[in-house]
Structure 1
Amino acid sequence: MTTIAITGATGQLGRLVIDALLARGVPAASLVAAVRDTAKAADLAAQGVAVRAADYDQPATLDAAFAGVERLLLISSNAVGQRFAQHSAVIEAAKRAGVKLVAYTSLLHADTSPLALAAEHVATEQALAASGLPHVLLRNGWYVENYLLSVPTALQHGALLGSAGTGRISCASRADYADAAAAVLAGAADPAGQVHELAGDDSYSLAELAAEIAAQAGKPVAYNDLPEAAYKDVLVSVGLPEGFAGLLADSDAGAAKGALYDGGKGISALTGKPTITLTAAVAGALKG
């Protein structure tokens, strides 16, 4: 029985990966939830999943967390600017623990992406290569949930704001990305050396997203495309930290250049199932 550990297992993606692994018939007893706060993983422990303390910022916790682990999913940290140091600590601990495979959730087309977010992902990919650890790259595209958070505001004001121009975005749901990760982790074949560009089956512009929201809600919603700097200012004005607002605006500007598009249907190729449609995603958001 292969022991599989998932870092950040109480996060939005991590929990879904565990769900997807269990759905694929992976025994709970073979799973390790590596988490910063074990109290938040009581529900996972109740399912028979081993819960171990693992804090990216406290490398001493990682050796015990990874003991006996054969396959490790390193879910990228959300601490932008600190991620490379955190990921490096995980990689070093995995090497000490003798982990046989590390899967890393990187960014779509990380090595050529114009997005500011790409830099730490590229550095982590390079660190994995330098470590000598067998590894597989799961280059995740955009989560559709990132845009669906704007649905209530778009309905309130009759406008969806962004800076993506006519760029097409190949979104998928977190559950789709989680299932792709589970397919790799639970697969019988050795995926070491593979690079998976993961994105949704379909793509759409933000104008098409606005039109879908309007059609389903029965209210007018237009897409209002702004210059990157102006969009950042709007995000700051509604309370987002300046750095985070800048990253979101930069990501939209990158989308305008095609950075969030991929037509390879990489997720469904791994899972054997279609990714969420725009219609279904918007319907789910409107239901709340």
Structure 2
Amino acid sequence: MILITGATGVLGKETINFLLKKGYPAGNIIALVRDDSKAADLKASGVVTISGNYDNYNSLLSAMKGVEKVLLVSGNDVVKRGSQHENVVKAAKESGVKHILYTSFHRKNETETSPIAFVAQSHIHTENIIKSSGLTYTILRNNIYLDMLPVFLGKVLETGVFYPAGDAKSAFASRNDMAEATANILAGQGHENKEYNLSNTENISFQDVADILNAITGKTISYLNPDSTTYQKALAEAEVPAEYIGFFAGFAEAIKQGEFASGNTDLEKLLGRKPTSAKEFLTNVYK
């Protein structure tokens, strides 16, 4: 039995869909869901759904009865997720789970000087408690999703690429590819106590993004590389909530510092094919 947490989120649900496509028995998949009303499609496919959440320890214990593998999809509550993940790892240990997989993230700077330390700290903490738990583990170091580019770009066809990332390159990879690779690991063998870098085989800059959009749309789209203060002021004037401004600015600075550049990746090997390129992804979004 496999338990997928965050099963109604995009990554969790797509991982389940890939497991089903590969012929993994639906009845051997348990989906942990916070909101049962969002799980109708999972139920229709034959997947077992159990209501629970990372804050409810007893619900985690109930969900993990008879489970051999758990996919811990990282929570989206940056403040609370360190303790939430501790609950999942502790429940997995108590329930006799044999193997836990965790969706962490790709990084280079693990100190408090990182511009995204507010994100990194809980991931590093979770990796450490998993390794110290004695559970067999697989750590997935997911790079930034290609799916985040439209979020970072905003009204790009009107304003151009306005993002303070300098000329640094990053190995953005699609969330869909990461879900497929995760499903392959869950359904496969030989992944025990390993850490995988799920990055693309290409590294691109935001100037490259502008060039791709030019080719796709036939418009002249410039790359504007403002300083961080100017960027944050522009977001504030566009009435972007303050917490999101800090998030966007932090990731921009991390990209600028090369946090998400990658010279090697396990994604192609795990997929058995080349990952989706930025050009392919952006063409699907903006064509």
Distance 2:170 2:239 in 1: 25
Matched ranges for 1:163-242 at <5 A:
163-189=164-190, 191-242=191-242
Residue in structure 2 matched with residue 44 of structure 1 by the alignment: 42
Q: Residue 210 of structure 1: SS of its match in structure 2?
A: helix
Structure-1 separation of matches of 2:6 and 2:188: 21
Greater shift in the superposed pair: 27-36 or 228-237:
228-237
Q: 1:202: how far off?
A: 1.1
Poorly superposed stretches of 4+, deviation over 6 Å: none
- Asked whether the 8 Å contact 1:41–1:51 carries over to 2, the reply is yes
Cα deviation, residue 63, structure 1 = 0.9
1: CA distance between counterparts of 2:232 and 2:81? Answer: 23
Q: Deviations over 1:20-60 (max 9, x none)?
A: 11122211111111111122111101101000112112222
| TM-superposition CA deviations, 1:251-277 (whole Å, max 9, x none) | 111111111111213211111121111
| TM-score, L = length of structure 1 | 0.93
Unaligned runs of 5+ in 1: none
Structure-1 separation of matches of 2:20 and 2:57: 28
Residue 35 of structure 1 aligns with which residue? 33
Deviation digits for residues 77-110 of structure 1 (CA, Å, limit 9, x no counterpart): 1111111011111111111111111100001036
Match of 2:243 in 1: 243
Q: Deviation string for 1:156-195 (max 9, x for gaps)?
A: 22x1111211110101111011011111111122x22101
Cross-structure match for 1:87: 85
SS class of match (2:39): helix
User: Residues 157 and 221 of structure 2 are in contact (CA less than 8 Å); yes or no, is this contact kept in structure 1?
Assistant: yes
- SS of 2:77's equivalent in the other structure is coil
Please give the alpha-carbon distance, in whole angstroms, between the structure 2 residues aligned to 1:68 and 1:217. Answer: 52
After superposition, residues 123-134 of structure 1 pair within 5 angstroms as 123-134=125-136
Alignment-derived partner of residue 101 in structure 2? 103
CA distance in 2, matches of 1:65, 1:236: 43
Distance 1:52 1:124 in 2: 23
Partner of 1:137: 139
Amino acid in structure 1 at the alignment position of 2:46? G
Return the alpha-carbon distance in structure 2 between the equivalents of residues 230 and 90 of structure 1.
41
The corresponding residue for 1:120 is: 122
Measured at CA, do residues 126 and 28 of structure 1 come closer, stay the same or move farther in structure 2, by a change above 3 Å? same
> Residue 286 of structure 1 aligns with which residue?
286
Alignment partners' CA distance in 2, 1:13 and 1:89: 21
Counterpart of 1:24 (choices 22, 38, 46) is: 22
Cα distance in 1, alignment partners of residues 238 and 128 from structure 2: 37
Q: Report the aligned-residue RMSD.
A: 1.6
**Pairs aligned (count):** 283
Q: Structure 2: which amino acid aligns with 1:79?
A: D
Q: Structure 2-normalised TM-score?
A: 0.93
| Worse-superposed segment, 278-287 or 168-177 | 278-287
Distance 2:126 2:233 in 1: 30
- For 2:85, the aligned partner's letter is H
Q: 1:110–1:139: 8 Å Cα contact kept in structure 2?
A: no
Counterpart residue identity of residue 84, structure 2: Q
Aligned to 1:63: 61
In 1, Cα distance between equivalents of 2:137 and 2:181:
15
Residue range with higher mean Cα deviation, 241-250 or 44-53? 241-250
Gap change, CA 1:93 and 1:239, over 3 Å in 2: farther
Instruction: Tell me, in whole angstroms, the C-alpha distance in 2 between the residues paired with 1:280 and 1:71.
Output: 33
Map of 1:153-168 to 2, 5 A cutoff? 153-157=155-159, 159-168=160-169
| Distance in 1 of aligned mates of 2:53 and 2:272 | 34
